[in-house]
Amino acid sequence: MIRMRIKYSRSEELKYIGHLDMMRAWHRILRRARVPLAYSEGFNPHPKMVFASPLALGILSTGELLDIYLTSDALSAAAFTQMVNRELPQGLSIIQTAIVPSELPPMPAMVYQADYIIKAEASDAAQLEDTIKEILAADHIDWEQTKKGVVKVYDIREKIYDLALLSSSDGIVEIKTSLQCDNSGSGRPEQIVKLLGIDEVISITRTRLVMRDPVKEEQQ
């Protein structure tokens, strides 16, 4: 059995497809491509597929990660890509595939950071840059969240690893942010939008998921 890692993009056509539907879509794609997909054992077998981190509705991506397990050791990454590319719907594109060691920890346990690009309308880029500096200089920023009628207040600043204005032209800005993304909690790009006081968002794109190095983890 081999573990194939797929890096892929999701564009406008698929930005309102939920995580469960995306799982089903990939299963259909792999079945139609006739790749030797491995399944779990038991009365209700499931395809052995592991997504690094669910993508929120409305978010585009150029850096999604999916691990699938194949029963054949003879299939190369290039051959796999060729087989699957023929079945991909519009809005879904493979960027890279690679065979990774099966003994590596599951990706959801290793992801700790997600990078985003926020494209938005902003009439005053200088004011926006000042707000970014204030956020980065803050030690603590309270964020109030209401869930099932219960109000919870937590520090959102610790979830923001980086924030920067990349470009500004004709009232359109691009902002890069790196946010916490792990099992203990995640920052969300829409929170950044609110902190910056942005009213009109054109697009939000997740560009990268960053994982811990398992070798360094073992050495610590």
The pLDDT of residue 216 is 52
Is the pLDDT at 217 greater than 80, yes or no? no
Q: Identify the band that residue 13 occupies on the pLDDT scale cut at 50, 70 and 90.
A: very high
**Cα–Cα distance, 12 to 17 (Å, whole number):** 10
Give residue-wise pLDDT tens across range 158-205: 999 999 999 999 999 999 999 999 988 899 999 999 999 998 999 999
Q: Identify the band that residue 77 occupies on the pLDDT scale cut at 50, 70 and 90.
A: very high
CA quadruple 181, 184, 189, 195: dihedral positive or negative? negative
The pLDDT of residue 169 is 92
Evaluate whether 2-104 and 110-219 have a shared fold: yes
131: amino acid identity, one letter: T
CATH fold for domain 2-104: Alpha-Beta Plaits (3.30.70)
**Cα–Cα distance, 2 to 67 (Å, whole number):** 10
Domain ranges of the chain: 2-104, 110-219
Q: What are phi and psi of 123, to 5 degrees?
A: -80, -25
DSSP bridge pairs for 120: 173, 201
CATH 3.30.70.260 applies to domain 110-219: yes
Q: Identify the band that residue 44 occupies on the pLDDT scale cut at 50, 70 and 90.
A: confident
The pLDDT of residue 43 is 84
Cβ(118)–Cβ(204) under 8 Å? yes
Can you say how many angstroms the Cα of residue 36 is from the centroid of all Cα atoms in its chain?
26
48: amino acid identity, one letter: K
